[in-house]
Amino acid sequence: MSTDFRLPDLGEGLVEAEIVQWHVAAGDEVTLNQTIAEVETAKAVVELPSPFAGTVSAIRHAEGDVVPVGEVLISFDVEGSDAAAAETAEKREPNLVGYGAAPRSTARPQRRARAGAAGDAVDLAVREAAPHDAIAPSAPEREPRERPRSTPPVRKLARDLGVDLDLVAASGVDGLITRDDVEAYAARTATATPEAPRGPVPPTAAPVASAAGDERIPIRGVRKHTADAMVRSAFTAPHAATFLTVDVTASVAFVAGLRADARYAERRVGIMAVAAKAVCLALRRTPELNATWDDAAGEIVRFAKVNLGIAAATERGLVVPSVKDAGGMPLLELSDAIRALAETARAGKATPADLSGSTFSITNYGVFGVDAGTPILVPGEAGILGLGAVQRRPWEHEGGVALRDVMTLSLSFDHRLVDGAEAARFLTDVGDVLRDPARAMVFA
């Protein structure tokens, strides 16, 4: 029988992907879990495995096409038990293993109570009932209702079609509303008379004229994701910035000593790793910068662990993979993790898990010879530290002037979460460790 394979739900709320490369062609025989294509989302390049064995009967999209989640990518001819398995798989909402688990329970998960360092975050909100919070006696109590269960792509489709998911009957596993359910409901209601628009229809902007030789580049993939994130950050968090220029001669000598030592030479520790370790130490004393502003819940959430985001310039654009629990790593392990993650990101192999979950970030524009800058916050984070280039300059030292290795630190922070004094304390702590790495031994 012929069966279709749709673009799976890639998780992280991603709703489309660009086909980078096909690994099969029409007429090819494929085996179970064989890689059939590579697709690029807004966060990573992902390999798509075949969910069954059979013969490729048709390729539905060409390389370079941007395909919505749930749309048919490829068709197969399968036989025997594989055909039955394919028919079952085709009825399920597509989901890529490792990029968003398939639903198992109809109950909505309860919000976990936070318990200080024992949990993932510390709840700082103090809830106090006000007199006006009381329910009026005349107001009937409404019984809470569960939100219809569906995946992000299906919810987006429902929004696009103007479908209320509360009215859609679910046919998926464990009461999941599928794409077919939404499309079927929309088709049944399509004959209804559409409501006249209320108010004037907004004018459509005229396309921008292109002069001869101009290049028009589609906004998609990492560039689109980065643009959306930067706009969201700039217009959500009130940014403030502070700067500190530090004599890092001792750190430069410390790094040179490690590289000259045969025991550590292969670890290739650099000033970036020392700065990252300094950040982790400083965040212990200024937890306000390892936090997020939860507007919906009316809470400030301080994270128990430091997941350190490392901004990396790649051929696909700027990405920020994160080192999980960086605060618990010794210097050499942290250096290895940063280097490995950066290499993975530049190769386009970082997973959505790698590219999410950071709680504080570092950007090293010093590698491009830039002295200082004002980085924009990663959405949801309280701070980001920019590292400038290490420059040999005349500098005050022990009462005189000498040539010293100097760098500028730039801290951008969310002023809702962090006051100026706290930002200054954090930056001073980072500078103290870079000025004298031995201070890390006495950091509390």
The full set of domain ranges for the chain reads: 2-91, 149-192, 222-442
| Domain 149-192 top-level CATH class | few secondary structures
User: Exposed, middle or buried, 144 (CB in 10 Å: 0-12/13-18/19+)?
Assistant: exposed
Q: What is the pLDDT along the chain (444 residues), one digit of tens a residue?
A: 788 999 887 766 677 888 888 999 998 999 988 999 988 876 677 888 998 899 999 999 998 888 888 889 999 998 865 555 555 555 444 444 333 333 334 344 444 444 444 444 444 443 333 333 433 444 444 444 455 666 666 777 777 788 888 788 888 766 778 877 887 887 777 645 455 555 555 555 555 656 678 888 887 777 787 788 888 888 888 999 999 999 999 999 999 999 999 998 888 999 999 999 999 999 999 999 999 999 889 999 999 999 999 999 888 788 899 999 999 999 999 999 999 999 998 888 888 888 889 999 999 999 999 999 999 999 999 999 999 999 999 999 989 999 999 999 999 999 999 999 999 999 999 999 999 999 988 876
Please tell me the CATH code under which domain 222-442 is placed: 3.30.559.10
SS3 130: coil
**Domain 2-91, classified CATH 2.60.120.10, yes or no:** no
**Residue 164's pLDDT is what?**
82
| Residue showing tokens 């310039």 | 313
Cα–Cα distance between 22 and 36 in angstroms, integer?
6
- Look at residue 394 and give its three-state secondary structure: strand
User: Among residues 353, 325, 347, which one has the least CA distance to residue 337?
Assistant: 325
Q: What are phi and psi of 267, to 5 degrees?
A: -80, -20
Cβ atoms within 10 Å, residue 209: 6
**Crossing angle of the two packed helices 152-161 and 179-188, in degrees rounded to 10:** 10
Catalytic residue status for 415: yes
Return the C-alpha torsion angle 80, 84, 85, 91, nearest 10.
150
pLDDT value of residue 115: 42
Number of helices (H) and strands (E) in the chain: give both, helices first.
Answer: 8, 20
Q: What pLDDT is stored for residue 250 in this prediction?
A: 96
> Is residue 32 within 8 Å of 54, Cβ to Cβ?
no
CA dihedral 50, 51, 56, 57 (to 10 degrees): -140
Q: Are 60 and 6 in contact (CB under 8 A)?
A: no
In whole angstroms, give the CA distance from residue 38 to residue 19: 6
Distance CA 105, CA 146 (A): 13
Catalytic residue among 132, 239, 397, 415: 415
Strands 360-363 and 383-387: parallel
Contact predicate 372/390, CB 8 Å: no
Give me the count of residues in the chain: 444
Per-residue model confidence (pLDDT) at position 11: 65
Provide the CA 370 distance to its chain's centre, in angstroms.
26
Shortest CA distance to 251 belongs to which of 18, 431, 396? 431
Are β-strands 317-319 and 322-323 bridged in parallel, bridged antiparallel, or unpaired?
unpaired
Alpha-carbon gap, residue 92 to 102, rounded angstroms: 10
- Residue located via tokens 């580049």: 217
**Dist. CA 440–CA 271, nearest whole Å:** 15
How would you class 412 by CB atoms within 10 Å of its CB: exposed for 0-12, middle for 13-18, buried for 19 or more?
buried
**Residue 263 neighbours by CB distance under 10 Å:** 8
E-only strand ranges, 51-176 = 54-59, 66-68, 72-77, 121-123
Q: How far is CA 154 from CA 165, 273, 355, in A?
A: 10, 42, 23
Q: Residue 74: what pLDDT?
A: 92
